[in-house]
Amino acid sequence: MPKKSTVGLRVSYNATDSSITIAVKDGDQELGSSAFVFDTLPESIRSEIQVYGLSKVLQDRTSDVTDKLDKLDAMDDVYALFEQGTWKKERKAGAPVVSVEVEALANLKGVSIPAIQKARKGYTKEQWATIVDNEAVQAEIIKVKAERDGQEADLDDLL
């Protein structure tokens, strides 16, 4: 049986200087690396690269969703997190990202998250924004965020 390759890529992001460094590693040994600084690119192509990157991150963060309409809903949820200034998302292994708005509405209405995601398809972006801006929804969003921030998991007992 052939030996499994230990050669891989390591990507490091640096938002401060808008750069990424990609290194080829074999175990702990670095075989080579390159740094790519966004600000050195011609301004005429930066917008295209940014939009392409947004497309890729939306696809990446919803890669575990197979149904196309569900994937679109998941992308909406990811984008809603970005609109709130949230880059890092909270997710369960193998589960799509769920925005605080969707979770809050599910709590408020006493229905499942998929039910809210399905219902969301029937509203325009403007209507959805009005729903989310509702005072009761905003209050529930605050509760959901507090619950998420306060949650910790100790798995040691499962070892």
Q: What is the pLDDT of residues 20-68, one digit of tens each?
A: 999 999 888 889 999 999 999 999 999 999 999 999 999 998 888 888 8
List, for residues 100-146, the tens digit of each pLDDT value.
888 899 999 999 888 888 888 888 888 988 998 999 999 988 888 88
Whether residue 102 contacts residue 117, with contact meaning beta carbons closer than 8 Å, is answered with yes
DSSP class of 38: G
Q: Span 83-88, mean pLDDT?
A: 81
CA atoms within 13 A on the CB side of 94: 0
Q: Is the pLDDT of residue 95 over 70?
A: no
Strand order through the sheet with 7-14: 7-14, 19-26, 29-37
